[in-house]
Structure 1
Amino acid sequence: MTGKVTPALSGPSLTVREVEAMDRIDRVRGIGGMKAALLALMLSPALPGRLRIWQEETAVVPEAEAIRADVDLLGPTTRLPWFELLLARMGASPLPDRQAMLRSARRVLGPPGLPIDRLMWLAMRRHFGEHVPTRAHGPNDPEISRLVIADVLHVAHFTAHLARMVPSSDPAAGQAWYQVVMSRWLKPAETPPWQRPDVDALVHALNGLQAMSWMQRPQVVRTWVAAALQTSQGRLLDNGAADALRLSSLLLDSPMPPDLARLYAEIDPD
């Protein structure tokens, strides 16, 4: 393939079939092919009805089924890196193609949905030019341990959504993780009780997090990952939790902490 792929430092190694599939996916550059690949990455065995919608949305793409077969060969260390890379490539396409892609994705990700779907949707909007620019870092930015209450509430609301996936899909474990994260800034008696945010609250929280300084956002991500490892059995992140945290890093324009980055293969876009 034209890009260099570095296997993850931990977890399963890449199979020959997976590497060959990535080689073929890397050669997909047309709008229709990239759309078929991106939508295939949104399919889930837990929601078999999505396949019918995918077929409707890719009916005019002759190679769609072959592309989906290659996407199915991707493992947990490569699926999200390819999702991000294809988003970046599709983000350079003309506006009408990006808008059509968003409409198709909305259909595939429509109800019933999964918690990760909202993060994938927000990531698509970000790559397609629909995100709030972050404010410039200034000398008077507060330290991460002294966030203003509005920023703490943004962290709380976004963390509450992540708690549906981190450190696992177990609600009790997620709520325990939420408490550990928020103890970074608030005493237990001051922490808002866990409550699942609706879409508007989640987007509002994300906008607030994206507006934090470039020094603060990575600190929030590191707090999420450290708390996830602390509350995970065996100090290991499961695939769903890792994907949620990686997408959150992307949405906050923050580098991934090493404990998270090492769970994925590195794919060089060049």
Structure 2
Amino acid sequence: MLETRIMTGKVTPALSGPAVGEAEAEAMDRLDRVRGIGGMKAALLALLLSPALPRRLRVWREETAPMPEAEEVRADVERLGPTTRLPWFELLLARMGASPLQERQALLRSARRVLGPPGQPIDRLLWLAMRRQFGEHPDAKAHVTPDPDVSRLTIAEVLHVAHFSAHLARMVPSEDPTHGQAWYQVVMSRWLKPAETPPWQRPDVDALVHALNGLQLMSWMQRPQVVRTWVAAAKQITPGPLDPVAADALRLSSLLLDSPMPPDLARQYAEVDPD
């Protein structure tokens, strides 16, 4: 993997992976100097904006009105490309995780407003990632399976994989529903015969969260196996680099499952060194 260190100011986080342009590097340098709670909140909320949903910008301005530097922060966030947006989202979440509880709760309320309907499939994963980082997730420990064959899952675990994969299929390996349903079938063939595979069905929020909770309870050996299956199936359906939305959905899923990213996924991002 190509190692790159971009020097545009006093201190800039080290990056590994795809190279970035000068304007983007300068924007990252300025974002790295944003350490106040207001500025980090403006940046995180800006990372939830979408050109396809212009209403969000109005809500973002309402939520960041007391922050004089908010528009400058948003302009820098807009300079981030698909290889750096999600790494910065994760970095800023980690930094905000050290803030007082009331500030984290206020940020979640603001994020809920920005992400309000209409929404996109990726929004649920972003929201779940924020809640996880700020401690609003079940405090349950994964069990260690006594079965040496980690490829074997219980029926309940297979159903959790199916329900969560059904949501990912709206984005992976692309936003084409035909590709997504084909991907779902390839994923589930890892554990079930075609006749045994539950038909693809879009899960509601409760079903998605229930499936995620179940996946998080799987052993530390099994969760990476599920993530690797997702990525391998995506590469099988659409060879070459993953669609940016699909890559983000899989990266967020890896984060939610406390699983390392497979190399084919990791190499699509320019990783930010925390400090």
TM-score range (shorter-chain normalised) is over 0.9
Matched with 1:217 is 223
1:46 corresponds to 2:52: yes
Number of residue pairs aligned between Structure 1 and Structure 2: 266
**Aligned equivalent of 1:250:** 255
User: C-alpha distance in 2, partners of 1:81/1:134?
Assistant: 26
Q: Compute the RMSD of aligned alpha carbons.
A: 1.3
What is the rounded CA distance, in whole Å, between the counterparts of 2:86 and 2:16 in structure 1?
13
- 8 Å contact from structure 2 (residues 12, 28) kept in 1: no
Give the residue type in structure 2 aligned to 1:28: V
> What is the identity, as a one-letter code, of the residue corresponding to 1:105?
A
CA contact (8 A) 1:44 1:50 kept: yes
Alignment equivalent of 2:13, drawn from 4, 18, 25: 4
Query: Match for residue 81 of structure 1?
Result: 87
Q: CA–CA distance in 2 between the matches of 1:115 and 1:132?
A: 22
Amino acid at match of 1:246: R
Q: CA deviation at 1:4?
A: 3.0
Structure 2 partner of 1:120: 126
Task: Name the CA distance, whole Å, in 1 between partners of 2:245 and 2:147.
Answer: 33
User: How far off its partner does 1:131 sit?
Assistant: 1.6
Counterpart amino acid of residue 211 in structure 1: L
Secondary structure in 2 aligned to 1:80? helix
Partner residue in 2 for 1:262: 267
| Conservation of the 8 A alpha-carbon contact between 1:24 and 1:70 | yes
Per-residue Cα deviation, 1:205-251 (whole angstroms, up to 9, x for no partner): 0000001000000000000000000001x433110100000000000
Alignment of 1:39-118 (within 5 A): 39-118=45-124
Report the alpha carbon displacement of residue 141 of structure 1 after superposing the two structures with TM: 4.5
Q: 1:206 matched to which residue of 2? A: 212
Unpaired runs of 5+ in structure 2?
1-9
| Paired AA for residue 17 in structure 2 | A
Q: Aligned AA for 1:235?
A: G
Deviation at 1:130, TM superposition (A): 1.1
Task: Give the SS at the match of 1:145.
Answer: coil
Match of 1:37 in 2: 43
Q: CA deviation at 1:137?
A: 4.8
Unaligned runs of 5+ residues in structure 1 are: none
- TM-score under structure 2 length normalisation: 0.94
In the alignment, residue 172 of structure 1 is paired with which amino acid?
T
SS at the partner of 1:96?
helix
CA distance in 2 between partners of 1:113 and 1:143 (Å): 40
C-alpha separation in 2, matches of 1:246 and 1:183 = 22
Q: Kindly, what percent of the aligned residue pairs are identical?
A: 78
Tell whether the 8 Å contact from 1:135 to 1:213 is kept in structure 2 after alignment: no
